[in-house]
């Protein structure tokens, strides 16, 4: 524990001022709990105190104290909350810090809030005096040097709440200056729900920003507010100010879209949400019931006068009232994004690259808004430069006349996709192909199956309907037939079929998936999820116009049992596997050996 504490103190040292933010935020939570207790508990026995946070600082004595009239702590809470620092949040913070290295502290502190222990950055010894709000609660004094053990004793204290005090360390003396603390409070806590008094003067002035008219809020206020509620260090990418007055629900909301995705989305989205207020009183932090999972990137506050304060958890989870709010918010956010996509494509692009994967997951979970979500999809495209994104609508609008399919190909990088033999036909004929590089797209696009009456198809499957005039509709010659039969014979166990290709231009052969099989990227993912997954057999398409194939026909006519033919077939097939990154282990060795044999023969025949 000592070591952990040292690391915390050391790694946070670049921002020791956050100790104040953490103490204020704890005091604020405690006040909120007390206020709700007072408003909802009929047997409330706490004193009718004013809810406020008092801070006293003295530069002559270097002393500091912060006092709240909040809920306070019972003895065991005091021990559990402050007695152990190996709490999960702290440990995760450290692990992440180790991974990211120093320099990333500021952002991480924002995401974790290492809490009370940050006071040991500025003080050697800290005293906490507290009394719980419950009737007949006793008061306690807790004292600790941080690194060593703590002591706890019973004391006399009249009001419920908590007081924390200490003397600043030598190298933290700057914080005993009143103006310095004033600046920090303005920076981090300007929107606190309760008055913060510094040496008896109220510092925070702004309060419930979401209750102001949107025309009366400035950008800098909004940015500051966002940082206050999220602990993010960056300004948000955008915000939505809502005032809804309806028959069923009335609410005001101030929602934000962050500029950057968090380091661990999954964790973040499980824990974050929009704060729920009832008439300016915080009811629930990070209320998850307010938004569908796929919109969890949204942060902010929602304040309604329709919700009773003593709202039960079940009520907030999925009561009709919450569902109504959720539907309205979803609708507004999707409209907002659609607007961005149309009018501020650069912003939308930033948003999409950060939160696109999450947003897309809604297509498979929210059938009511499925069509709207589909309009929000963006992809790279063979007709556009790297990094440029297109929508399905754009694709559909510029599709060639008579083209009733939307084509896509999936893979890790654009560069690799451009080189795939299956792209040749489309490139030659200027037919647009969407490049899918986000693995989630593979779960989304095939499921959409149709857009604007055009079937969505992977170009790595056998059943694409190439435009009739482009098809090479020559009757299959006898010799071609026999040659394909030879391919089939040699490759019996390895492929599903061998067919003449209508799409290859420069390559001799390519592998495609059967129309009922998954295409390659999908299979790659199945393999990642299940080691024992076996790929389905592919169809080998052969380009009859290719010089190598033509040469093989000549050889076949001269001597249909020439052993070289079999070698060529194997090498063409394995070459196609190689291109797909599927030539593994001893197959690769066999392949190279055969290539060398063929080269040897070519060299010696000269």
Residues contributing to the annotated binding site for ATP: 22, 26, 68, 73, 81, 88-89, 111-116, 162, 313
Q: How far is the CB of 138 from ligand ADP (least distance, A)?
A: 15
Q: What is the DSSP secondary-structure string of 301-370?
A: EEEESSS-TT--HHHHHH-HHHHHHHHHHHHHHHHHHHHHHHH-HHHHHHHHHHHHHHHHGGGGT-SSSH
Q: Is 571 in the site for ligand ADP (CB under 6 A)?
A: no
* Candidate ranges 108-116, 369-377, 496-504, 567-575; the one touching ligand ADP (CB under 6 A): 108-116
Q: How far is the CB of 224 from ligand ADP (least distance, A)?
A: 21
Query: How far is the C-alpha of 502 from the C-alpha of 249, rounded, in Å?
Result: 60
* Candidate ranges 22-30, 205-213, 340-348, 455-463; the one touching ligand ADP (CB under 6 A): 22-30
Q: Is 71 in the site for ligand ADP (CB under 6 A)?
A: yes
Q: Is 24 in the site for ligand ADP (CB under 6 A)?
A: no
Q: How far is the CB of 166 from ligand ADP (least distance, A)?
A: 14
Q: How far is the CB of 539 from ligand ADP (least distance, A)?
A: 58
Q: How far is the CB of 27 from ligand ADP (least distance, A)?
A: 5
Nearer to ligand ADP (CB atom), residue 73 or residue 359:
73
Q: Is 301 in the site for ligand ADP (CB under 6 A)?
A: no
Q: How far is the CB of 85 from ligand ADP (least distance, A)?
A: 8
Write phi, then psi, for 305 (nearest 5 degrees).
-95, 0
Question: 152 with 126: CB under 8 angstroms?
Answer: no
Candidate residues 107, 115, 273, 300; the one interacting with ligand ADP per rule CB under 6 A: 115
Q: DSSP E strands: which ranges in 137-208? A: 139-144, 150-155, 161-168, 196-198, 201-202
Query: How far is the C-alpha of 438 from the C-alpha of 389, rounded, in Å?
Result: 13
Q: Is 150 in the site for ligand ADP (CB under 6 A)?
A: no
Nearer to ligand ADP (CB atom), residue 115 or residue 236:
115
**Residue showing tokens 């997951």:** 361
Q: Is 26 in the site for ligand ADP (CB under 6 A)?
A: yes
Question: 377 with 384: CB under 8 angstroms?
Answer: no
| Helix (H), strand (E) at residue 179 | helix 178-189
Q: For residue 526, what are the CA distances in angstroms to 29, 266, 441, 521, 531?
A: 46, 21, 14, 9, 8
Q: Is 73 in the site for ligand ADP (CB under 6 A)?
A: yes
Question: 129 with 116: CB under 8 angstroms?
Answer: no
Binders in 269-288 for ligand ADP, by CB under 6 A: none
Candidate residues 16, 46, 70, 292; the one interacting with ligand ADP per rule CB under 6 A: 70
Burial grade of 516 (CB within 10 A; 0-12, 13-18, 19 or more): exposed
Residues forming beta bridges with residue 455, ordered by sequence position: 405, 450
Beta carbons within 8 Å of 290's beta carbon, 6+ residues apart: 273, 274, 276, 302, 322, 325, 326, 329
Q: For residues 271-295, b (16+ Cβ closer than 10 Å) or e, as one string?
A: ebbbbbbbeebbbbeebbbbbbebb
* Candidate ranges 70-78, 232-240, 306-314, 494-502; the one touching ligand ADP (CB under 6 A): 70-78
- Quickly count helices (H) and strands (E) in the chain: 21, 21
Nearer to ligand ADP (CB atom), residue 86 or residue 588:
86
Candidate residues 24, 27, 301, 334; the one interacting with ligand ADP per rule CB under 6 A: 27
Q: How far is the CB of 164 from ligand ADP (least distance, A)?
A: 7
**Three-class DSSP labels, 230-241:** HCCCCCCCEEEE
Nearer to ligand ADP (CB atom), residue 90 or residue 354:
90
Nearer to ligand ADP (CB atom), residue 18 or residue 27:
27
Query: Which has the closest alpha carbon to 84: 198, 1, 201?
Result: 1
Q: Is 119 in the site for ligand ADP (CB under 6 A)?
A: no
Nearer to ligand ADP (CB atom), residue 23 or residue 444:
23
Number of residues that bind ligand ADP (CB under 6 A): 15
Q: Is 68 in the site for ligand ADP (CB under 6 A)?
A: yes
**The tokens of 528 are what?**
């990642």
Nearer to ligand ADP (CB atom), residue 130 or residue 543:
130
Q: How far is the CB of 22 from ligand ADP (least distance, A)?
A: 6
Write phi, then psi, for 421 (nearest 5 degrees).
-55, -35
Residues forming beta bridges with residue 497, ordered by sequence position: 539
* Candidate ranges 2-10, 26-34, 525-533, 587-595; the one touching ligand ADP (CB under 6 A): 26-34
Helix (H, G, I), strand (E, B) or coil at 160: coil
Q: Is 292 in the site for ligand ADP (CB under 6 A)?
A: no
Q: Is 162 in the site for ligand ADP (CB under 6 A)?
A: yes
Nearer to ligand ADP (CB atom), residue 72 or residue 258:
72
Nearer to ligand ADP (CB atom), residue 231 or residue 507:
231
Q: Is 81 in the site for ligand ADP (CB under 6 A)?
A: yes
**The tokens of 485 are what?**
């039969």
* Candidate ranges 113-121, 270-278, 308-316, 486-494; the one touching ligand ADP (CB under 6 A): 113-121
Q: Is 30 in the site for ligand ADP (CB under 6 A)?
A: yes
Q: How many C-beta neighbours within 10 Å does residue 24 have?
A: 22
Candidate residues 17, 22, 523, 541; the one interacting with ligand ADP per rule CB under 6 A: 22
Residues forming beta bridges with residue 302, ordered by sequence position: 253, 276
Question: 438 with 356: CB under 8 angstroms?
Answer: yes
Chain positions contacting ligand ADP, by CB under 6 A: 22, 26-27, 30, 68, 70-73, 81, 113, 115-117, 162
């Amino acid at each position: 524990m000592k070591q952990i504490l040292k690391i915390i103190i050391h790694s946070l040292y670049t921002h020791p001022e956050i100790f104040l933010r953490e103490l204020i935020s704890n005091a604020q939570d405690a006040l909120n709990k007390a206020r709700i207790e007072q408003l909802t508990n009929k047997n409330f026995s706490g004193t009718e105190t004013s809810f406020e946070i008092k801070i006293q600082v003295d530069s002559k004595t270097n002393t500091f104290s912060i006092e709240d009239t909040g809920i306070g702590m019972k003895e065991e809470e005091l021990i559990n909350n402050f007695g152990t620092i190996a709490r999960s949040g702290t440990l995760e913070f450290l692990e992440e810090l180790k991974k990211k290295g120093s320099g990333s502290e500021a952002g991480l502190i924002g995401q974790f809030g290492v809490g009370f222990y940050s006071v040991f950055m500025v003080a050697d010894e800290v005293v906490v005096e507290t009394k719980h709000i419950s009737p007949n609660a006793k008061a306690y004094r807790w004292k600790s040097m941080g690194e060593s053990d703590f002591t706890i004793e019973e004391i006399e204290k009249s009001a419920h709440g908590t007081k924390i005090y200490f003397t600043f360390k030598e190298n933290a003396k700057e914080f005993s200056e009143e103006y310095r603390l004033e600046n920090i409070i303005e920076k981090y806590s300007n929107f606190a729900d309760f008055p913060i008094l510094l040496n008896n003067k109220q510092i925070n002035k702004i309060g419930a920003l979401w209750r102001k008219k949107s025309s009366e809020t400035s950008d800098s206020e909004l940015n500051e507010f966002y940082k206050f509620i999220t602990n993010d260090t960056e300004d948000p990418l955008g915000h939505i100010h809502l005032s809804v007055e309806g028959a069923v629900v009335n609410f005001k909301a101030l929602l934000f879209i962050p500029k950057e995705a968090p380091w661990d989305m999954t964790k973040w989205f499980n824990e974050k949400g929009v704060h729920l207020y009832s008439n300016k009183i915080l009811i629930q932090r990070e209320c998850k019931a307010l938004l569908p999972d796929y919109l969890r990137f949204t942060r902010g506050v929602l304040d309604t006068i329709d919700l009773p304060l003593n709202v039960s958890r079940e009520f907030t989870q999925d009561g009709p009232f919450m569902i109504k709010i959720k539907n309205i918010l979803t609708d507004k956010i999707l409209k907002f994004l659609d607007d961005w996509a149309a009018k501020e494509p650069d912003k939308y692009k930033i948003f999409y690259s950060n939160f696109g994967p999450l947003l897309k997951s809604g297509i498979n979970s929210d059938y009511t808004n499925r069509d709207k979500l589909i309009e929000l999809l963006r992809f790279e495209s063979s007709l556009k430069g790297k990094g440029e994104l297109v929508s399905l609508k754009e694709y559909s609008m510029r599709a060639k006349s008579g083209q009733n399919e939307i084509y896509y190909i999936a893979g890790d990088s654009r560069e690799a996709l451009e080189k795939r033999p299956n792209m040749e036909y489309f490139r030659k004929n200027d037919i647009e192909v969407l490049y899918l590089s986000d693995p989630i797209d593979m779960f989304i696009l095939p499921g959409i199956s149709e857009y604007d009456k055009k079937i969505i198809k992977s170009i790595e499957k056998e059943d694409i309907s190439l435009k009739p005039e482009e098809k090479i509709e020559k009757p299959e010659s006898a010799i071609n037939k026999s040659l394909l039969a030879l391919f089939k014979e040699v490759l019996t166990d390895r492929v599903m079929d061998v067919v003449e290709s209508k799409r290859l231009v420069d390559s001799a052969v390519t592998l495609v998936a059967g129309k009922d099989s998954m295409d390659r990227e999908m299979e790659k993912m199945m393999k990642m999820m299940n080691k024992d997954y076996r790929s389905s057999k592919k169809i080998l398409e052969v380009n009859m116009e290719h010089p190598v194939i033509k040469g093989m026909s000549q050889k076949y006519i001269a001597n249909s049992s020439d052993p070289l033919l079999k070698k060529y077939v194997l090498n063409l097939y394995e070459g196609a596997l190689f291109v797909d990154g599927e030539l593994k282990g001893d197959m690769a060795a066999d392949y190279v050996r055969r290539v060398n044999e063929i080269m040897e023969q070519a060299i010696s025949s000269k």
